[in-house]
Amino acid sequence: MIISKTPLRASFFGGGTDFKDYYENSRYGCGSVVSAALNMYVYIMVCKRFDDKIRVCYTKNEFVDSVDEIEHNIVREALKITGIERGIDIVYSADIPLSSAGVGLASSSALAVGVLNALYAYKGEYISPERLAQKACEIEIERLKNPIGVQDQYACAYGGFRVYRFWADGTVTATPIGVSAENIQKLKDNLLLYYTGLTRVSSEILSEQKRGISDKTKVLDQMFEMVDTAVEGLRCGEAERWGILLDEAWNLKKSLASKISNSEIDRMYERAKEAGAVGGKILGAGGGGFLLLYVPQKKRALVMDALKDYKKVEFDFENMGSRIIFMEEHRR
């Protein structure tokens, strides 16, 4: 039996510049994102079956004779990539609700990374975070044709608090943020995370965003520049600068596609700001999922009262990426 544990992530600045259409043509020579892995996880359990069947268990239970019969597209393609054809059980669960609708924490990419990690370990093969991310991108973007960027696969594979650069030649660098633990903790102490209660099909929003990249280059350039501005501010201990920049970035992001925000999200955000939040953003594609807010400590109680009708989610940053947490030898 093999069990993998893969973190979800929160992306702060630069989202949208990780699309190939942007970073291949960027005047900076790359796209850039700063994001942090969270202590919320996707778990994948893999074990050998006595027979040659394949079982895939998630919100439904699939029991099939061949890989091609599997309905779950990410699991199916991961089995094809790793060359495992029969006699295996795959079960997955997560710290957030599993559904077809996105919530903005990169759960589908965490699944792709996690199931690949577990399947390679099942075969007795170690695969680096870089290769895990590359293979996950192959599944989601090349094989399944999802209209997404490449930041999530790397954030889930590497973990930690990092700046990612997506270069025009296709290479990706994942650099630790280089900020003191004290300043990172200062940032964390002023963040609140809320579940909006809204879910959405992220591909619809991302498809519109992807189609408009050439017309939104100036906006994306501004979002690119915010990455280094935010990181430098945090290095200097200016945590509240993140709140101000998050507000600016959120207003820019809403211009990228029509359904990134809606009346419910707008009301929730304005209520938080009126109570003392400096800034924030919907994580992921937008349209629902989780709202991340920067709230100074002295305003925390006021904001929490203003958003008492929404679910507040406790979280912390996670230093590690996808890893194998249990391995028991099996006969093949």
Residues pairing with 254 in the sheet:
none
Q: With 50 as the cut, is the pLDDT of residue 332 above it?
A: no
CATH 3.40.1160.10 fits 181-312, yes or no: no
The mean pLDDT of 309-321, rounded to a whole number, is: 97
Give the 3-state DSSP-derived string for 193-216, with helices as H, strands as E and coil as C.
EEECCCCECHHHHHHHHHHCHHHC
Q: Choose among 167, 108, 98, 126: nearest CA to 285.
A: 108
pTM for this predicted structure: 0.94
Range from 128-137, 184-193, 249-258 carrying the lowest mean pLDDT: 249-258
HSE of 98, CA atoms in CB hemisphere, 13 A: 17
CB 263 within 8 A of CB 198: no
Could you read off the pLDDT of 88-119 as tens digits, one per residue? 999 999 998 765 456 789 999 999 999 999 99
Tokens of 278: 């400096």
- The DSSP-derived string for 274-312 is HHT--EEEE-TTSSSSEEEEE--GGGHHHHHHHTTTSEE
pLDDT at site 198: 83
Q: With 70 as the cut, is the pLDDT of residue 238 above it?
A: yes
**pLDDT band at 331, cuts 50/70/90?**
very low
d(CA 201, CA 101) in angstroms, rounded, equals 5
Q: Average pLDDT over the chain, rounded to whole?
A: 93
Exposed e or buried b per residue across 320-330, where buried means at least 16 C-beta atoms within 10 angstroms of its C-beta: ebbbbeeeeee
**pLDDT band at 208, cuts 50/70/90?**
confident
pLDDT at site 321: 98
Domains of the chain, by residue range, sit at 2-178+318-327, 181-312
Q: With 80 as the cut, is the pLDDT of residue 292 above it?
A: yes
Could you read off the pLDDT of 33-77 as tens digits, one per residue? 999 999 999 999 999 999 999 999 998 999 999 999 999 999 999
The mean pLDDT of 191-211, rounded to a whole number, is: 81
CB 11 within 8 A of CB 317: no
pLDDT at site 73: 96
Measuring CA to CA, how many Å separate 291 from each of 24, 201, 306? 30, 17, 14
pLDDT at site 223: 96
d(CA 63, CA 66) in angstroms, rounded, equals 9
What's the CATH class of domain 2-178+318-327? alpha beta
pLDDT at site 99: 59
Q: Exposed (0-12), middle (13-18) or buried (19+): which is 204, by Cβ within 10 Å?
A: middle
